[in-house]
Structure 1
């Protein structure tokens, strides 16, 4: 076991020979937002969505076409001389749909809604990335702190072994105590190895998530040590929870995007119903032709027309499209109501978890103080011979567990605090993009 620990310490020391790079929480979030491929793909797709809006706007405007041409012909008759010649022509025409049951306006609103929904989707993904990065960063800090606890526990057990060994030489404790403490040292070494392995593996996975080199030596800063990171929460309050849920309905990108989806379903209903209505369009044209280019505009023709197209029978295809749009609208309404229930459930769970985490933090802080004093007392009693080594080891184990529980409670509280902002939809990702 000692050889394994020596090898492990050598490996850790060799890594520390390379220059360390600081990786703060804010920097990690910035890197995650910058390197995320999904955001890059959606940003690329946003160009086509913008183009769809422009195309829908163009449908409200008249179309204009121009034409120029030249043709040559020859007429032959056996009784008359052959006649040939060329003729030039030019013209411009315009067509404009004046009324189509307001389908073109609904189409424009629908395409613009698609654009707004795409922006909300990007916002949601960015909030997901920010929360995931913060949560993973806190998990790493927890594992590193847990590794420090195991290091302290190993140091305490080694020191205790030295004391017991010396006391055994003096005859004040039995050899069994020495063997028992040696076992505890080995166990502490094993726990340190496990904690270190968990930290390094999780750190590599985190660096991979950020798109960084997993072999680089990064040093993490500890945001959990901030004194203002703990916010006192009152007891569970239904009204407070309701206000948070209402805020989520006003801010969450996924909910706002779902509402836009319902609006688009209604616009599609309007578009399909327009199939039963007449279409009024007009056309304007100008043309000229001549045998010579110089006299091309001497002969001019103008035309203006209105066309009213009235649908009489289309084989129930319009009715079919209306029914499909109606079903889609109902499904969107069901999805929106279901999402409201999901948001309410998530908000309640996160809020209760945060309240519980705060209480657990207070309890674990008291447990650390109590277990510290209890271990000190047991050590003094053991030095006086009034208690057994087993009681000292139990007290140390309780202290180690109390410290580990406190670290877990503090990190859990901070994660729930971030999760509450995430569930509300108030995570500010823009500050990481500057």
Structure 2
């Protein structure tokens, strides 16, 4: 019994994973967690913290230890006048040093004033903020791609449902005509024409099924989902939502692109200051403490008379005052200013483009809503026409051609309504993007 329960639970778990209903919110959140672009953007933010640590380290004390061991196989001799040793005018060669020499020391270096280091620290912190904004922009780009792909797949799925209804209706008409034909009340050509129409619908349906499979695979790739995972789109995706309603107070100032450009301006300004700092004086302190050991033999663990030890220490200040560098710093500063001027030109162009996108998004949404209402009205009218012609056909007051045309027109009206819904949802995405509120799609 225990094994049967385990097998049943395993089967139910597999069945639960076999097909997953995927809402737009789920798709977007899944992409933000798994898609490579979003993951790498988050890693850039994490890496910026390490960059700050690296720059901060240059402003902290730098402590190092070093040691060495030297064996002087041949001790260098120095020439000394012989008179110093009572040997007249001759020259005496005297060795200085011992065969073994060792040393160990600890050094410290501390920047007391270095404008380039302090400016670099500010730049590193600004870089962190830049990467955070860039990560937000990357997420918005991922959301936009996922939403457009999601709606495209949903449109095809809706077209399949529409054609399924048309096939069911045409099959019902075919059955009626076949019954009439069997009783000698309909022509064989009418039955054959209905069969041809039905086969064409089935062929079109298969093409839509293939297209949907490709679109679903593209959607899975965009969100980073396993290709073997089956998904199902909910029925309420194509709805007119309220969060896209136009607000006259909407501006482009909260767009991530603007924030990113402003942060780039800060970075370029700090870069210019860092270059200017190369012409400023710098002051640092250094200190050293260590030991020297000498002996006829290895002096380690030895004392007099076998080895002699001496400690040493030094403390100093290093002042560096740039006087003349050929004008290289001045040239670099001008280049940095040119980069700032180029960015200002880009900012003006981006603002103009974003303002145009906002105006176009508002116009497109309003036009799409008008078209959507018209197509909805057309669907209702086409359905009424189809019902009337179908009734007339049963009583011999309409031809089969009229009936098939009415079915085609009704199916076309439904597909046009679906296309209008897609256009509306795409326009909705563009308006949400223009308002700088794409993240709201993760909270629906």
Match of 1:312 in 2: 323
Q: 1:203 deviation in Å?
A: 2.2
Match of 2:250 in 1: 244
2:370 matched to 1:359? yes
Larger Rg: 2
- Determine which of 147, 152, 158 is the counterpart of 1:145: 158
Q: 1:143 deviation in Å?
A: 0.9
Match of 2:411 in 1: 400
| Partner-residue secondary structure (3-state), 1:221 | coil
Q: 1:23 deviation in Å?
A: 3.2
Question: Where do 1:212-231 residues align within 5 Å?
Answer: 212-224=225-237, 229-231=240-242
Residue deviations 1:291-323 (CA, integer Å, cap 9, x gap): 79889999664534352x232221222122122
2:413 matched to 1:413? no
Match of 1:5 in 2: none
Taking structure 1 as reference, are residues 298 and 38 closer, same or farther at Cα in structure 2, changes over 3 Å only? Answer: same
Q: Distance in 2 between matches of 1:111 and 1:81?
A: 56
Residue deviations 1:109-131 (CA, integer Å, cap 9, x gap): 22222222222222222222233
Q: Distance in 2 between matches of 1:393 and 1:368?
A: 16
2:267 matched to 1:260? no
Match of 2:113 in 1: 99
Contact 1:154 1:192 in 2 (8 A): no
Unaligned runs of 5+ in 2: 1-14, 79-91
Q: Distance in 2 between matches of 1:299 and 1:172?
A: 123
| Partner-residue secondary structure (3-state), 1:281 | strand
Residue deviations 1:263-306 (CA, integer Å, cap 9, x gap): 11111111112233333334444556677988999966453435
Match of 1:189 in 2: 202
Give the TM-score taking structure 1 as reference length.
0.79
Match of 1:425 in 2: 436
Question: Where do 1:153-302 residues align within 5 Å?
Answer: 153-168=166-181, 173-224=186-237, 229-231=240-242, 240-241=247-248, 243-246=249-252, 249-252=253-256, 254-286=257-289, 301-302=313-314
Taking structure 1 as reference, are residues 277 and 389 closer, same or farther at Cα in structure 2, changes over 3 Å only? Answer: same
Q: 1:150 deviation in Å?
A: 0.9
Match of 1:376 in 2: 387
Q: Distance in 2 between matches of 1:194 and 1:133?
A: 23
| Partner-residue secondary structure (3-state), 1:428 | helix
After superposing the two structures, state which structure 1 stretch, 152-161 or 120-129, moved more. Answer: 120-129
Match of 2:5 in 1: none
Residue deviations 1:320-379 (CA, integer Å, cap 9, x gap): 212221221112212222221222222222222222222222222222222111211222
Match of 1:21 in 2: 19
Match of 2:54 in 1: 55
Contact 1:20 1:219 in 2 (8 A): no
Q: 1:170 deviation in Å?
A: 5.1
After superposing the two structures, state which structure 1 stretch, 106-115 or 160-169, moved more. Answer: 160-169
Q: Distance in 1 between matches of 2:121 and 2:96?
A: 58
Q: Distance in 2 between matches of 1:389 and 1:430?
A: 48
| Partner-residue secondary structure (3-state), 2:237 | helix
| Partner-residue secondary structure (3-state), 1:230 | coil
| Partner-residue secondary structure (3-state), 1:250 | coil
Taking structure 1 as reference, are residues 106 and 163 closer, same or farther at Cα in structure 2, changes over 3 Å only? Answer: same
Question: Where do 1:37-52 residues align within 5 Å?
Answer: 37-52=36-51
2:61 matched to 1:31? no
Match of 2:127 in 1: 114
Q: 1:431 deviation in Å?
A: 5.6
| Partner-residue secondary structure (3-state), 1:311 | coil
Taking structure 1 as reference, are residues 180 and 49 closer, same or farther at Cα in structure 2, changes over 3 Å only? Answer: same
| Partner-residue secondary structure (3-state), 1:59 | helix
Q: Distance in 2 between matches of 1:353 and 1:406?
A: 16
Q: 1:385 deviation in Å?
A: 2.8
Unaligned runs of 5+ in 1: 1-16
Contact 2:238 2:422 in 1 (8 A): no
Q: How many residue pairs end up in the alignment? A: 404
Taking structure 1 as reference, are residues 52 and 387 closer, same or farther at Cα in structure 2, changes over 3 Å only? Answer: same
Q: 1:384 deviation in Å?
A: 3.0
2:348 matched to 1:350? no
Q: Distance in 2 between matches of 1:232 and 1:88?
A: 77
Contact 1:18 1:217 in 2 (8 A): no
Q: 1:83 deviation in Å?
A: 7.6
